[in-house]
């Protein structure tokens, strides 16, 4: 049973033969990112692999660089490595809810994270370990680091985190709705136990002879 994660991870597991990597190519692209900025690389990726670029965030440094690296090594887009046939007999369930209620839950969750000491957590990590180029761009960390450096106020920090989280959720919904053979379950106002029962019923129907 695989729960959570991103749609890209799921598709990688089920139908993706990952291409190889070359350190020197990756380092070259990393230097381009430092010199020209991440947006420059993302625009470059959009031209050579619009399919993959559309599926990831313009802020996703790791995947942008990976997409460019694969293209430079193999002279074909990383999206072409995704197979049509899945390697396993799998049942895929997508749990969705009404957008308005989802966004309300996101806002409440962000508020709760701040109440539980999110700012102090980021401050401790910064002082004790520091952040990698990838981690400091993660939703929440980037905004709080800006707040700690007194570049944005706390309220603006919260607003940006909520906005980015909603944007991320929207991209995930678009991706998951397009997932081949996925079973979509509306969990709006539904208790977790009832959702679990619905999933279990479909699993038993699929593999009733096992």
Q: Are residues 74 and 126 in the same domain?
A: no
Q: Are residues 75 and 134 in the same domain?
A: no
Residue 102 within a domain: yes
DSSP 180: T
Query: What sign does the dihedral 45-43-22-71 (CA atoms) show?
Result: positive
For residue 172, what is the domain's CATH number?
1.10.287.890
d(CA 193, CA 178): 26
Contact present, 50 and 71 (Cβ < 8 Å): no
Q: Domain of residue 194: give its range.
A: 93-206
Tokens found for residue 126: 């910064």
pLDDT band at 6 (very low <50, low <70, confident <90, very high): confident
Query: What sign does the dihedral 57-59-65-66 (CA atoms) show?
Result: negative
Nearest residue to 102 via CA among 158, 161, 156, 173: 173
Nearest residue to 168 via CA among 142, 146, 196: 142
Q: Are residues 24 and 76 in the same domain?
A: yes
Which residues have a Cβ under 8 Å from the Cβ of 15 and sit 6 or more positions away? 82, 83, 84, 85, 86, 87
pLDDT digits (tens, 9 = 90+) for 65-108: 999 999 999 999 998 887 666 778 889 999 999 999 999 999 99
For residue 38, what is the domain's CATH number?
1.10.20.140
11 pLDDT above the threshold of 80: no
Collapse the DSSP code of 185 into the 3-class scheme (helix H, G, I; strand E, B; otherwise coil) and give the result: strand
Beta bridge partners of 82: 16
d(CA 65, CA 72): 11
Question: Residues of the chain with pLDDT > 70: what percent?
Answer: 96
Please tell me the predicted confidence (pLDDT) of residue 111: 98
Of 81, 112, 127, which residue sits at a domain end? Answer: 81
Residue 3 within a domain: no
d(CA 117, CA 120): 5
Of 81, 106, 133, which residue sits at a domain end? Answer: 81
Q: Are residues 185 and 100 in the same domain?
A: yes
Using a cut of 0.85, tell me whether the model's pTM lies above it.
no
Please tell me the predicted confidence (pLDDT) of residue 23: 94
Section 49-63 average pLDDT: 91
Please tell me the predicted confidence (pLDDT) of residue 85: 66
d(CA 194, CA 21): 44
């Amino acid at each position: 049973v695989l729960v959570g994660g991103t749609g890209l991870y799921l598709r990688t597991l089920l139908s993706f033969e990952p291409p190889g990597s070359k350190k020197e190519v990756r380092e070259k692209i990393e230097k381009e990112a430092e010199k020209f900025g991440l947006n420059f690389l993302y625009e470059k990726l959009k031209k050579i692999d619009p399919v993959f670029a559309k599926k990831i965030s313009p802020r996703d440094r790791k995947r942008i660089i990976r997409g460019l690296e694969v293209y430079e090594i193999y002279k074909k887009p990383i999206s072409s490595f995704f197979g049509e046939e899945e390697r396993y007999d799998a049942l895929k369930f997508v749990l969705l809810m009404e957008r308005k209620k989802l966004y309300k839950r996101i806002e409440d969750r962000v508020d709760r994270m701040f109440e539980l000491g999110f700012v102090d957590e980021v401050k401790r990590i910064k002082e004790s370990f520091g952040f990698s180029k990838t981690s400091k761009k993660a939703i929440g960390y980037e905004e709080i680091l800006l707040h700690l450096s007194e570049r944005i106020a706390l309220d603006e920090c919260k607003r940006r985190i909520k906005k980015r989280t909603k944007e991320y959720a929207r991209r995930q919904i678009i991706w998951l709705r397009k997932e081949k053979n996925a079973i979509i379950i509306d969990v709006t106002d539904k208790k977790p136990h009832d959702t679990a029962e619905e999933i279990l019923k479909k699993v038993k129907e699929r593999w009733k002879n096992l």
